[in-house]
Every structure is written in C-alpha cells, then in structure tokens.
Amino acid sequence: MKFFNRDKEIKKILSILGDEPDDIYFLYGPINSGKTALINEIINNRLDKDKYVVFYINLRRYFISKYDDFIEVLFEEYEEDKKPAELIKGLIKDSPLIFGIPIPKNTLETLFSDKSEKNVFKYITNLLLSIKKEDKQPIIIMDELQKIGDLKINGFLIYELFNYFISLTKELHLCHIFCLSSDSLFIEKVYNEAMLNGRAKYLLVDDFDKETALKFMDFLSERILNKKLSNEEKELIYSYVGGKPKDIIYVIKSLKTDKLKEILNYLLNDAKQKLKYFLEDVKEENEELYKKVVDALKIFKESYEVEDITIGKKIREFLVKRNILFLDPIEGILRPQSFLIWNGIKELKR
C-alpha cells in the first residue's frame, strides 16, 4: 500500500542525510505512531541506493540481558571468503538496507571471547571508513535502543555507545546515527544526559492530528473498502481512536466484515478492561499508590494534555513506564498513550 503523509518528517530526515553527519538523532513518539514505518519508507523508497548504505539494527525482537546478546543482535555473521566491504557490494545490489553489521565468523568469535566494546567499535569504524572510500554515506539505525539502557560491561554499555556515536558524528563526521524509541522515559533520560548536550537532536513522530487522521481514513477506505466513509463515520472513528495510525488501520480493515459501532465498542471495551485490571493490580499491591494513580488519571478527564509537572515525578514515571501515559520531555507535556486509553480514563469511577 502507498505510504501516507509524513511529508514534513520525510523532508526533515532527507535534509539531515544530505548534510555532513554532525549529530545523533533520536526519533521518539507514542506507541504505534509509525516511527519504524517512516524510517522504512525513507530507506526503501526515498534514498539513492548508489549513495547510501544503511545498517538497521532492531533490538525490539530480542531479549538482551548480557553483552553476548547485544553482540548477536548487533552483528550478522557470514562465512564467505570476502572482506566486509566486498560483501556489502553484493548485499546492497537492490537496496541500501543491511540488517546488522556484516562480520566474518572468526572475527565474531574473537569479539565474543574478548568482551571489549572498544574492539567492537574499532571493527565498525574500519568498516564505515571502507564504505566512505567507496563514495557512499553510511547510516546506522538503532530501533528500540532503550533495550540496552541497563546493560553493563565495566560500566553501562549505553554510555560507551553514546560516546562512540559522538565520535562517529560530531568528531569524525563519518556516519549518520538515528535511534528510535517508544520509551519516553528513556528519551527523557537521554534528553537530560549532559554528555549529549549539543550533540543530539530530537524528532517527534506523533499520532496524526485530526485533519490528517480524517484524510488517512479516506485514503484507507478507498483502497481497502473501495468506497468513502461519511463525515459522521469518520468523526465517530476519530472520537474513539484519535489519530493513532495503527488503530485507524484496524478499524478500516475490520469494516470489511463488521459494523462500525461494534468495532469501536470492542476497542474501547478492550482498553477499559486493561485499564481496570491494571488498577486492580496496583490496588492489590499498594493501596496508597492506587489512590495517587487514580487521582493522577482523573486529571485527564477534562484535558487530553497537561504539563508534565502537573503529576508528581514518581507517579508520572510509574504511569509512563506502564504505557498508560506518554511523556514528551522536549515539549514538557503528558497525555494518554492513545485516545482509547483516554476514553477509558474518562469513564473511571471513584
């Protein structure tokens, strides 16, 4: 299906890629707002494959509890008798995208036994330099980087990684770095990290605003249902799911077999039940915490967005960590992760 909208974000990212690498870029936003889809669209359809080489490392799908886990995700092992730069030429024949960092088996075994992040980074730097010599611009994309936020070797691996990214961008101007995350507490931590001051930029990939969401419904319904929805139907969908792309897609696809009101009631009931069980668990474990959580959520009965400090830090972080609320630390706002959760909150009783 043709990619919809995001012209502003695409233009911004392409402009960044057209310049010399100079900053680490963090792409953040609510859950299911389309961050990965945006990056995939740019990689697959907007880049000149003769100019760029993209290394995509997806931490989302893996349980990472130790250094060896990280190395397994970071690298893609091969046994061919070729230098990594020669292998890359074959890998990017049809697309600039490579999953993981290519590495010979014997070299990977050395990295596993040595357990030194410095040697890992040295190998990657040499690979990137070899790509530059071929007049191509390397890009590294780390999806769900927060998965290694607490991983230690000698110190925290994440800080060593940030230092390395700074050397690749701010110092060597060698490689563009994009880090994606739906974890807004991680983004808040990164935003307040002194070592990244003046070395990182932040791009919000948000849910659609109302005007765009209604256009997205038209876009989908014409392609999936071969018809247009009425204005009343679109307004009703928006009142339930807002501008969350994934939820809108689900509703439109479900209209092939089910009635609109049934679909929306199912989604809302699902959100309400999950919120109810979440609160039940909190109450069972800590009655005082439960009261504070409910008081915090009641703030959203009247407003979709509030200033972040409206809710105390501990309760705020608790609700963000449990994916009830989304925190935008750059704008200093809090809001429910979705319209569905917001609608569930508005029906809270106490």
What is the pTM assigned to this prediction? 0.91
SS3 134: coil
CA angle (117, 123, 125) in 5-degree steps: 100
CA angle (347, 348, 350) in 5-degree steps: 135
The b-or-e profile of 16-47 (16+ CB within 10 A means b, else e) is bbeeebebbbbbbbbebbbbbbbbebbbeeeb
User: Torsion over CA of 229, 230, 231 and 233, rounded to 10 degrees?
Assistant: -70
Per-residue pLDDT of the chain (350 residues; tens, 9 = 90+): 567 889 999 999 999 999 999 999 999 999 999 999 999 999 999 998 889 999 999 887 777 777 778 888 888 887 666 777 777 877 887 788 999 998 887 777 777 776 666 788 888 999 999 999 989 999 999 998 888 766 655 557 788 889 999 999 999 999 999 999 999 988 998 899 888 999 999 999 999 999 999 999 999 999 999 999 999 999 999 999 999 999 999 999 999 999 999 999 999 999 999 999 999 999 999 999 999 999 999 999 989 999 999 999 999 999 999 999 999 999 999 999 999 999 999 987 65
Q: Which residue is it, tokens 């972080």?
A: 317
